[in-house]
A and B are shown apart, each in its own frame.
Chain A
Amino acid sequence: MKAVGASRTSGLSPAVKVVGAIALVLTATLTPASHPLWFATEAALVAVALVEARVPLRQFLRRLAMLSPFVAGAALAAALGSHGTDWRVLAARSTVCLATVIVLSQTTSISELLGVLRAARVPNLLLTTLALMHRYLFVLADESARMGRARTARTFTRSRRHAWVTAASVVGQLFVRASERAERVYDAMCARGWKS
């Protein structure tokens, strides 16, 4: 996931990165529509961080493009409504914010984030849940892809209705397997001396 090499941005303390990103997003949110120059300054700041962090540009742009349906929809709604925000301001603001979040997510690993959250006194149970989720995220995603492939190999999907039932049974099976795995994970955690 973390394709970002050693750079000054990834070397920064994670707390600084998270607080900095929140500050930048907050500034962009509070920037009044009458000061378009501020957006340019904020965009320049993000651009510096982007180059500094060596975030792959293609990946960045692809992720940024996924926002556009939402912006387009909101812009259309704002254009139709008599008292909505100007869509250009909306687009500038949300693009700056999204770029900030992308740079943050590309330069901060989940374990660093957990450290920041622990320092912010987030309850232990939530941290455990977050850590376990991240640990098994890709395991279960792989498992569901394997099950889906096996189903396609065994059954010929004739109709859309059939495809839905098949996909739903894959998801249901995935839940069953996740619950069974949770039991084994608990045993393993206890064997290693885990205490809530």
Chain B
Amino acid sequence: MHIPDGFLDAKTALATTALSTAGVAYALRQVRIELAPRRVPLLGLSAAFLFAAQMVNFPVAGGTSGHLVGAALVAALLGPSAAVVVLATVLIVQCFLFADGGILSLGANVFNMGLVATLSGFAVYRIGQRLVPGVRGRVAAMAFAGWCSAVLASVSCAGQLAWSGTVAWSVALPAMAGVHMLIGVGEGLISALVLLAVSRTRPDLMGPVTQVQASGRARSFVVLGLLASLGVALFVAPFACPWPDGLEAVAGKLGFGARALAPSAAAPLQNYRVPGLASPGFATAAAGAIGTLVAFCLAVALSRLVVREDSSRKSSHV
């Protein structure tokens, strides 16, 4: 999801850079307050870990393989402000050392993967973990958090591409979100399996590294979260409310709107009316809701599968 240079215009690059500079500066300040000096090297080592972890291949179908992005995982393991710093570090090194992601779009990449993905992942993980205590709840929460972080970051990315006028929103959103709903399944699965592996070997490493009361951490999360939501609102809201007629035009031209709405709709779509589904925007929203529900069920199923398997294996092997 690293946006290269040339895909964002100056306005978007400036806005995202300002937002992510503010976010990273605030996260650094919080980490300096919250983190015991002993844990300072852990930030650098975690960034190096994340980089190495991204190189481990997970075989998918037909010889292709996927890899971890890890924003939600790091947020679950280290807490929100430390995760923002770690992700920003990884993205800076990837940009300058490996030319992965552009210089001017570094701000946008830090915003999407450093702020949106980590904070949404952390929020979902915490809520899920609270609702269902125990290892099983933790695994399910992590899997769903990984999926949500990938999808939300891709929506934010689509918003930026549309805001720049590079790709129309009506094309960017379904393409980006659709692909990342699939990628997110892998991301959630890997994150949950890794979390399970860590909690088996060193349960004491679980949980945020910062040593302040939950209230202090909650405040930094709220501030960072507000910043991320502000950005998402800025990039996504202009398109989301009055649905652009571009979509109608494209859907009419290509006929994919018809397929998305109802397979039986006829080709000339000048004045199509599909009962129940008032607008293509609604169809997209419905698709998103169904996708989220499926991902949630998969996460719960995974936790049941892996954790029960775990206890039975323990009794036979240990």
B48→A63 contact, CB < 8 A = no
A101→B201 contact, CB < 8 A = no
Which residues on the B side are within 8 Å of A1 (C-beta)? 97
Residue among B24, B86, B95, B99 making CB contact with A63, cutoff 8 Å? B99
Interface assignment of B58: CB less than 8 Å from any CB of chain A:
yes
Which residues on the B side are within 8 Å of A148 (C-beta)? 56
Interface assignment of B181: CB less than 8 Å from any CB of chain A:
no
Interface assignment of A160: CB less than 8 Å from any CB of chain B:
yes
Given A97-B4, A136-B48, A186-B41, also A171-B85 (CB < 8 A): no
Given A26-B104, A84-B168, A94-B6, also A110-B42 (CB < 8 A): no
How far is B47's CA from A186's CA once the two chains are assembled, in angstroms? 16
Q: How many residues of A contact B (CB 8 A)?
A: 79
Q: Which residue of B lies closest to A130 (CB)?
A: B89
A164→B205 contact, CB < 8 A = no
How far is B246's CA from A143's CA once the two chains are assembled, in angstroms? 51
How far is B39's CA from A183's CA once the two chains are assembled, in angstroms? 7
Residue among A28, A80, A136 making CB contact with B44, cutoff 8 Å? A136
B93→A74 contact, CB < 8 A = no
Interface assignment of B299: CB less than 8 Å from any CB of chain A:
no
Cβ proximity bits A40-80 to B, threshold 8 Å, 1 near / 0 not: 00000000000000000000000100010011011001101
CB distance from A29 to the nearest CB of B (A): 6
How far is B202's CA from A140's CA once the two chains are assembled, in angstroms? 18
Cβ proximity bits B61-72 to A, threshold 8 Å, 1 near / 0 not: 000000010000
Binds A, one of B30-38, B116-124, B148-156, B225-233: B30-38
A29→B28 contact, CB < 8 A = no
Residue among A81, A110, A196 making CB contact with B167, cutoff 8 Å? A81
Given A93-B6, A102-B99, A126-B89, also A137-B246 (CB < 8 A): no
Which of A1, A93, A186 has the most CB atoms of chain B within a 10 A radius of its CB? A186
Interface assignment of A132: CB less than 8 Å from any CB of chain B:
yes
Interface assignment of B290: CB less than 8 Å from any CB of chain A:
no
Interface assignment of B43: CB less than 8 Å from any CB of chain A:
yes
How far is B104's CA from A102's CA once the two chains are assembled, in angstroms? 14
Given A84-B165, A160-B59, A186-B40, also A77-B171 (CB < 8 A): yes
How far is B56's CA from A189's CA once the two chains are assembled, in angstroms? 30
Cβ proximity bits B97-137 to A, threshold 8 Å, 1 near / 0 not: 11100111000000000000000000000000000000000
Cβ proximity bits A126-139 to B, threshold 8 Å, 1 near / 0 not: 10111111111101
Which of A22, A97, A165 has the most CB atoms of chain B within a 10 A radius of its CB? A97
Residue among A28, A96, A140, A189 making CB contact with B49, cutoff 8 Å? A140
Which residues on the A side are within 8 Å of B223 (C-beta)? none
How far is B170's CA from A117's CA once the two chains are assembled, in angstroms? 39
Residue ranges of B at the interface with A (Cβ–Cβ < 8 Å): 4-10, 13, 24-25, 28, 31-32, 37-49, 51-53, 55-59, 68, 77, 85-86, 88-90, 92-93, 95-99, 102-104, 161, 165-168, 170-172, 175, 189-190, 193-198, 200-202, 205, 246, 249-250, 254
Residue ranges of A at the interface with B (Cβ–Cβ < 8 Å): 1, 21-22, 25-26, 28-30, 63, 67, 70-71, 73-74, 77-78, 80-85, 90, 93-98, 100-102, 104-105, 108, 110, 113, 123, 125-126, 128-137, 139-141, 143-144, 148, 160, 163-165, 167-176, 178-179, 181-183, 185-186, 189, 196
User: A105-B97, A174-B49 given. 16 additional CB < 8 A pairs?
Assistant: A77-B167, A80-B250, A84-B167, A85-B167, A93-B6, A108-B96, A132-B47, A133-B44, A137-B93, A148-B56, A164-B58, A171-B194, A172-B198, A175-B198, A178-B49, A179-B45
